[in-house]
Amino acid sequence: MIDLRSDTFTKPLPNMLKAMWAAEVGDDVFGEDPTINALEKKAAALFGMEAAVFCPSGTMTNQIAINVHTRPGQEIICHEYSHVYNYEGGGIAFNSGCQVRPLAGPRGKLEANSVAAALQNPLDMHAATSRLVVLENTTNKGGGACYELSEIDAIKSICDEKGLGLHLDGARLWNALVAKNQKPSDFGSRFDSISICLSKGLGCPVGSLLLGSNEFIREARFVRKKFGGAMRQAGYLAAAGIYALDHHIERLSEDHAKAKTLADTLKSSPWIEKVETVETNILIFNLKADKNIVAFNSALKAEGILHIDMGQGKQRFVTHHDVSFEDIDKVCQVIGDLA
Ligand SMILES: Cc1ncc(COP(=O)(O)O)c(C=O)c1O
Ligand 1 pocket member 58 (CB < 6 A): yes
Nearest to 168 by CA among 155, 180, 157, 181: 155
What's the CA-to-centroid distance between 60 and ligand 1, angstroms?
Answer: 9
Cα atoms found within 13 Å of the Cα of residue 61, Cβ hemisphere only: 27
Distance, CA 247 to ligand 1 centroid (Å)? 21
**pLDDT class of 292 with cuts at 50, 70, 90:** confident
pLDDT, tens digit, 9 for 90 and up, residues 46-76: 999 999 999 999 999 999 999 999 999 999 9
Give the integer Cα–Cα distance in Å for 325 and 143: 21
Ligand 1 centroid–CA 9 distance in Å is 12
Give the pLDDT confidence of 219-271 residue by residue, as tens digits: 999 999 999 999 999 999 999 999 999 999 999 999 999 999 999 999 999 99
Q: Could you name the CATH architecture of 14-247? A: 3-Layer(aba) Sandwich (3.40)
- Residue nearest to ligand 1 atom 8, measured at CA: 58
Domain locations in the chain as residue ranges:
14-247, 251-337
Helix (H, G, I), strand (E, B) or coil at 130: strand
Q: How far does residue 159's CA lie from ligand 1's centre (Å)? A: 24
Report which secondary-structure segment, H or E, holds 16: helix 14-21
Q: Is the pLDDT of residue 115 over 90?
A: yes
Residue nearest to atom 4 of ligand 1 (CA): 58
Nearest atom in ligand 1 to the alpha carbon of residue 136 is 1
Answer whether 168's CB lies under 8 Å from 193's CB: yes
Closest CA to 255 of 196, 335, 174, 183: 174
Q: Average the pLDDT over 111-131 and give the result.
A: 97
Other Cβ atoms closer than 10 A to 36: 28
Query: Is domain 251-337 classified as CATH 3.40.50.300?
Result: no
Q: How many angstroms separate the alpha carbon of residue 3 from the centre of ligand 1?
A: 18
Residue nearest to atom 7 of ligand 1 (CA): 58
